[in-house]
Amino acid sequence: MRWTSEKKDGYTLIHNPGGPDLGLHDGSRIIEQDGLAFKDLAGTGELLPYEDWRLDPVTRAADLAARLSREEIAGLMLYSSHQVVPAREAGLFGGHYGGGTFDPAKNAPSDLTDEQIHFLRDDHIRHVLQMRVESARISAEWSNKLQAFCEAEPWGIPVNISTDPRHGATAVGAEFRQRSRDVSKWPEGIGLAAAGDPELVREFAKVAAKEYRALGITTALGPQIDLSTEPRWMRLEDTLGSDPDRVIPMVKAYCDGMQTTEGAPDGWGKDSVITMVKHWPGGGTGEGGRDAHYAYGCFAVYPDGQFEQHMRPFTEGAFRLDGPTKKAGAVMPYYTVSWLADKPHVGNSYSEYILKELLREKYAYDGVVCTDWGITGDPDPAIDAFGSRCYGVQELTEAERHLRIILNGADQFGGNDRMAPILEAWRIGDERCGAAYMDERMRLSARRLLTGIFRVGLFENPYLDPEESARIVGNAAFVKAGLVAQARAMVLLKDRGVLPLKKGSRIWVPQRFLRRRKNFVRMWEPETELDPLGGMDVSPWFVRVDSPEEADAALVIMESPLSDPYDPADVASGGNGYRPLTLQYRPYTADAARKPSIAGGDWREPFTDRSYRGKTNTCINEKDLDNVLEAQRRMGDKPVIVSLHMHNPTVPAEFEPAADAILVDFSVSTEVLLDVLFGEREATGRLPYNLPADMAAVERHGEDAIEGPTPYTASDGAVYARDWRVEK
């Protein structure tokens, strides 16, 4: 015997000379061959090909896929709903522990919920989406408990845990994304585009991969490589820009940085994180800037005929990596209905053209295809609802929707916790396509899904040392790198010679106010007054004062305009419900909007024209502009500095003349913001897109046009086009 073993906290670690370490909860399940140790995951006492770590992942996956039952294959094709660790709260993300709610006297924060045990055991789920966790240590402990549970199940298939992006320095309103408490903080994707350096993107991806692996995460639901051509889109800040020639190198750097284990022959291994690039074939062209999470925003349009450009980050980037893993391990189509001539108007996963003919056949993508979350359930009767995404196929049963997606070439269903609809889809497929065809088709998906789990080394060692995880995640070096990147992503848009500020200055920072509004899940949020500094101790930089009159300078912290494109009250009064999304602060009337709309039609609407021409909308955070103008009025000759957190390209005409300096960020911590303002760091980013001259320029600009709307010319003659910054 040449291998050795050691006891760890909750598992046994076995060391193979010249081979991988093996981690087992039950250290007795070992097969010895040629002096080497292998896991007896199947419990046969015989080394099966899938248990032999000397074989390549594709061979091992094929062997195991051939052994699985229908139920086990259906479970592999599920991707869990969002999991919160621990599930303390009732409601959407709540859970139960032994039939009751979380009790800190009885339950550890890392304990599995009853619901998690059920979907692991009864629905055979092995792909789990972690949304929020309290700490790196708890994440590692929870991951170990998931893996120990599944190790004891037939075949011992480990869990592939995934996450949406969680390294942003500020909270994100779109999607169920929240800042992780432990990880290092970086700019959002559009901030990386502002920094303009693929090597910075690679550095970020490597750091994120290390932190993810320490958390137990082996799949990243990203990067988001949609081109950001539509300036009003709520997902724009997660993109890497609008110019495919610039985006493609960043896509390659991101995927290579995350997926590559140094020294591994094929690049895959224990340090790899699978990237699930999204959203095929590009989701950033929603008509009027509306988003396809909602039925009122389901249509993606291409008035400038640039559909092909939007696929390039995938076809020339993610599918042609420079590194040894060669291509992104997974792809996610978007919810959108791509409005193309002579093509059925159905969601992309339901489209034979988008998924089968283009992705699988023309571009020969052979990795995992996973739907976006929650597209197969029955639609809500109200169009202004969160759960209505089976676009164009509402007449099908849930099982028939699954079958249509499977026959188009998809392998996995995001946010689905039940295997029953997949099993029923398989039964219907047997009748329509033949049992032999369906069996091979389903096992093909199983092979693809298992290949990913083998590639990242989970079959060998899925276990973590929680102490080591706590040391890795958010360590000083990673945190420092993130802070440096944040400054590199900031753009100094304007400076009349007032920056940097002098430390110890007296600064007035006005409160912000948000009107009553609907949130991401279309629930009402009350009007809110908030401190833009969050009550932070700012004494290392300045003295905060209560009025402009006693201040040396004013610092107005604001964000780009927030607005809502749909109003049920408009429907009740005889309108169509559609309002313009606005990138200006004052009320905007869309006199230049197209009429009629390009796309339209929904079974809940007695019309097809979704135009909002002539309608008015007011942004939720209009007071941000009031703060700037009040500061200008009350400060007299003293400087007014604007710090603008830019989710979307903003029309500067209303506030630029009133500001002596404007600093733009794309997710920045307050510490870095203040360091830049007071000269401790330098903002070196450039605008990643044009700032529009006005809303008419936005309306004239095609949603798919990569060139950008006509840019704004500032009061000092500067043109706020892509690549602009003040040169110091």
Instruction: Dump pLDDT digits (tens) for 78-112.
Output: 999 999 999 987 777 889 999 999 999 999 999 99
Instruction: Dump pLDDT digits (tens) for 591-604.
Output: 999 999 999 999 99
Instruction: Dump pLDDT digits (tens) for 559-617.
Output: 999 999 999 999 999 999 999 999 999 999 999 999 999 999 999 999 999 999 999 99
**For residue 722, what are its two tokens?**
């892509």
CA 511 to CA 529: how far, in whole Å?
7
List alpha helices for 545-692, DSSP H. Answer: 568-572, 623-635, 670-677
**For residue 99, what are its two tokens?**
């039939």
Residue 518: beta bridge partners? 524
Q: Taking the CB of residue 693, how many other CB atoms lie within 10 A of it?
A: 18
**For residue 619, what are its two tokens?**
């942004």
Q: How many residues are there in the chain?
A: 728
CA 282 to CA 655: how far, in whole Å?
33
Q: Are 328 and 242 in contact (CB under 8 A)?
A: no
End-to-end CA distance of the chain: 66
CA 294 to CA 565: how far, in whole Å?
11
Mean pLDDT by 10 residues, the chain (728 residues): 89 95 94 95 97 98 98 98 90 89 95 97 98 95 98 98 93 51 92 98 98 98 98 97 98 98 97 98 97 97 98 98 98 97 95 98 98 96 91 97 98 96 98 98 98 98 97 97 98 98 98 96 95 95 97 98 97 96 98 98 96 98 98 97 98 98 97 98 98 98 97 98 94
pTM (2 d.p.): 0.96
Listed residue (207, 423, 225) closest to 318, CA to CA: 225
- Measured in degrees and rounded to the nearest 5, phi and psi for residue 57 equal -60, -40
All structural domains of the chain: 132-472 (3.20.20.300), 490-700 (3.40.50)
